[in-house]
Structure 1
Amino acid sequence: MEESWKGHVLLVPYPGQGHINPMMQFSRRLISKGLKATLVNSIFIAKSMKLGSSIGPVHLDVISDGFDEEGFPTGGSSELYLEKLEAAGSKTLSELIVKYRSTPYPIDCVIYEPFLHWVLDVAKDFGVMGAAFFTQPCVVDYIYYNIQHGLLSLPITSAPVSIPGLPLLEPRDMPSFINVPGSYPAYFKMLLDQFSNTDKVDYILINTFYKLEAEAVDTISKVCPTLTIGPTVPSRYLDKRIEDDDYYNLDLFTLHASISTNWISNKPPRSVVYVAFGSISNLCEKQIEELSWGLKNSNYYFLWVIRESGQINLPKTFMEDLGEKGCVVGWSPQVRMLANEAVGCFLTHCGWNSTIEALSLGMPMVAMPQWTDQPPNAKLVEDAWKVGIRVKVDEEGIVPRDEIECCIKEVMEGEKGEEMKKNAKKWRELAIEAVSEGGSSDKNIDELVSKIIKFKN
């Protein structure tokens, strides 16, 4: 096999679950096109997960984030983490590229998440191609582009916000770093820095598909060499062209998949509400209480994915009274659950991976955004794609139980819910079309692969 590789791509995601998964899936897509793909994790992630040299056809390697033994600093300082990640990451990434130069398959292209904008500088220092892989939707990426280039001034003093190529946005529709000025300044700077050196990039790759965000893609393409290459969802659920590809197979959290699959196996079609808020979001105790009773009062079956740190805040009698009506787990194989015919609704924080998985699987949503890109994603879910309903918060920022119950019932059985289901089915068909042979994303991936092969030769 090694003799037949047409080129070697190094993929460098930000070290987090929601960032590794799409890169892992894109690696498989590139391999199916004849490239060798090596996915890079942090030393800490590789050690804690006891990762070997590969997962299926995807090769694995490591760089340092500066915290090889303990992972993210115990003090929780994002500034310190990002500072050390850049320093240690730049050094060890350089060493990795040098290592592969002495093998029969040197690195031809580095595909990196632009949260790590410094990766492009390393790639260009070694004279290899560099492609930025954006793991948020094009609409959100272009908002940050406008801020970074001084086209949108902060703080925002009038509404709605009008940005060419994007829908009109109210303050609550903007990324949380903009809507709540001064929140998480290190992460906000990281997001703006995504575009700090893209004038040197060979391609910008976005995990979306053209028909989903056509106007935004056309607009950003005028200023950046942009290719839509998504959705990066396992092939089994879309075009079925990659063998044995039904899950990402790299979980940073303990996964007991059998709990979810066994519980859901005897539930009637479209009777279950699947509830998950991703790998980072933490709901406060009051919100967990309101969500608990909202789910229970809806009288639907529900499968709730909530980490153990959140489970301790569940109401005291909640678990005892569940019976077969609900199942609470710490982690779950989400894409498999969304593909299960028993699931009829996804109550989600609207992280981009969750959102595009739901769109790809034709799943209507109750949108309950928390932070970062989730508010604009929820805006798109409700108003642009019309595949879900967004919850309303009270004056304390809490979504009350009655609102949760009402939104679930609207999606599961209401008149608007029927329209959402039809729209969700349409977007699923368009997602399949995009990655199938000759589709927009498939053609774009072919263009990228062709450029890498030409560069190698």
Structure 2
Amino acid sequence: MTKPYEPTRDSHVAVLAFPFGTHAPPLLGITRLLASAAPTTLFSFFSTAQSNSSLHSSDLPENIRFHDVPDGLPEGFTGSPPEAIELFYEAATEKCRREFAAAETEVGREVKCLLTDAFLWFAADMAVEMKASWVVFWASGANSLTAHFYTDLIRETIGVSEVDGRMEDMLGFIPGMEKIRVKDTPEEVFGNLDFALPNALRQMGLALPRANAVFLNSFEELDPALTRNFKPKFKHYLNIGPLALLPSTTQEETQICDPHGCLDWIKKRSPASVVYIGFGTVMTPPPGELVAIAQGLESSKVPFIWSLKERNMVHLPKGFLDRTREQGMVVPWAPQVQLLKHEAMGVFVNHSGWNSVLESVSAGVPMIGRPIFGDHGLNGRFAEVVWEIGMTICDGVFTKEGFEKCLDQILFQDAGKTMKSNAKKLKEQAQKAVSVNGSSFENFMVLLDEVVKV
């Protein structure tokens, strides 16, 4: 998917990231891919200084340049993440215009394409002012995009004031969402529209049809009903993933960081036997649930790798690390993508965040999900009842008994064999999608043309 591509003349693309959570890294990965495919195009990547500092890489193509945009926070800010997001939104439009103009002056090229995270819906008007095309990246799956695209319809059909009594109702009035309950939707769908994020996501859903292209890190075969529904609604609706199967968007295999020897450890385990636990970089279950996970692992005696930040290790039961030293390992960081690809991997325990879900799908590994916020509930529900490749933890929280039951079901029972078989089929479809002439390959070429054309 990195075939050299030459635009008719040099072009300039401004890439604007949403600098919170895990939005910026996949957008940089896609920018890397586009930059490698179009070496005469300049890609100016804009995010906050804090976000950019966590993204810099020495092996980026030479035609990617980083630019900082102000975060809008007052000096010494100690507020909550929602407050930080609101302040960023308030400052972003004016300050981004200024930074874009400075970048154009610096390189002597006008921006011809504005490529942004979908959360930055206000870029639709900015693109018109700049006489540039607007190309939008949705950092999650088609399921959550559907929920936000249809926010008004969902709110009107269910009723905002009646929602508490209708949590089990299905969203069958939306194509592809027939098995999804109201309670699975992101909290922003029924959120107070006076708050920054619920309002932004609703505005995003309304603005997206104005985009020249909307693309996401997924593949058409994963959600065919949602794909069929969206294609006529956008000028271009493009699934270009899974990114986990495209090495040019990440570090090369020879550069894999594995400071704690996880890959050497897993090589000694039996096929489909290892439990990997990782909850991403943003949220972790509360201390009581970490105790329940540890107790379930110890009593089940299954081999495990647990990626857990050092500050949270203090919550583990006394003596747990010593007692399970031969059984497994708890590390502050693990090479997740490479671990999931190993034949010894049996199940991935995660928060049902989209990047984790798609990495698991790409590796053909069943999942146990513990949704925390945002799109997690939708992703977990799809994994369980639509794709049938995993389970959501009982009642949404870890208990020793509930975790033991899930591990037993997936690792040792017929239900787990079915999940593994379904996961394997999706993995094969994902690999075909990113191969030459696959659906994601073809979609990427359309995306590339939209981004670099002048």
TM bucket, shorter chain:
0.7 to 0.9
Which residue does 2:431 correspond to in 1?
432
After TM superposition, the structure 1 = structure 2 runs for residues 51-450 of structure 1, keeping only pairs within 5 Å, are 51=56, 55-56=60-61, 59-66=64-71, 73-79=77-83, 81-102=84-105, 103=107, 105-148=109-152, 152-155=157-160, 156=163, 157-158=165-166, 159-165=169-175, 166-177=177-188, 185-225=195-235, 226-236=237-247, 242=248, 246=252, 257-393=259-395, 398-450=397-449
1:182–1:122 distance in 2 versus 1, CA, 3 Å = closer
1:54–1:124 distance in 2 versus 1, CA, 3 Å = farther
Indicate if the aligned counterparts of 1:234 and 1:248 stay in contact, CA closer than 8 A.
Answer: no
TM-score with structure 2 length normalisation? 0.86
1:388–1:269 distance in 2 versus 1, CA, 3 Å = same
Which residue does 1:239 correspond to in 2?
none
TM-score with structure 1 length normalisation? 0.85
1:44–1:28 distance in 2 versus 1, CA, 3 Å = closer
Unaligned runs of 5+ in 2: none
Distance in 1 of aligned mates of 2:88 and 2:255: 25
Aligned-residue offset at 1:312: 2.2
1:404–1:33 distance in 2 versus 1, CA, 3 Å = same
> Any idea what SS the aligned residue of 1:356 has?
helix
Distance in 2 of aligned mates of 1:183 and 1:122: 23
Unaligned runs of 5+ in 1: 237-241
> Any idea what SS the aligned residue of 2:66 has?
strand
* Equivalent residue pairs, number: 437
Distance in 1 of aligned mates of 2:63 and 2:406: 41
Aligned-residue offset at 1:120: 3.1
1:367–1:244 distance in 2 versus 1, CA, 3 Å = closer
Alignment identity in percent? 23
Which residue does 2:28 correspond to in 1?
24
Indicate if the aligned counterparts of 2:245 and 2:362 stay in contact, CA closer than 8 A.
Answer: no
| RMSD of Structure 2 on Structure 1 (CA) | 3.1
Distance in 1 of aligned mates of 2:212 and 2:189: 29
Indicate if the aligned counterparts of 1:235 and 1:245 stay in contact, CA closer than 8 A.
Answer: no
Indicate if the aligned counterparts of 1:228 and 1:441 stay in contact, CA closer than 8 A.
Answer: yes
CA deviation profile, 1:341-373 (whole Å, cap 9, x unmatched)? 332210111100001111111111112222211
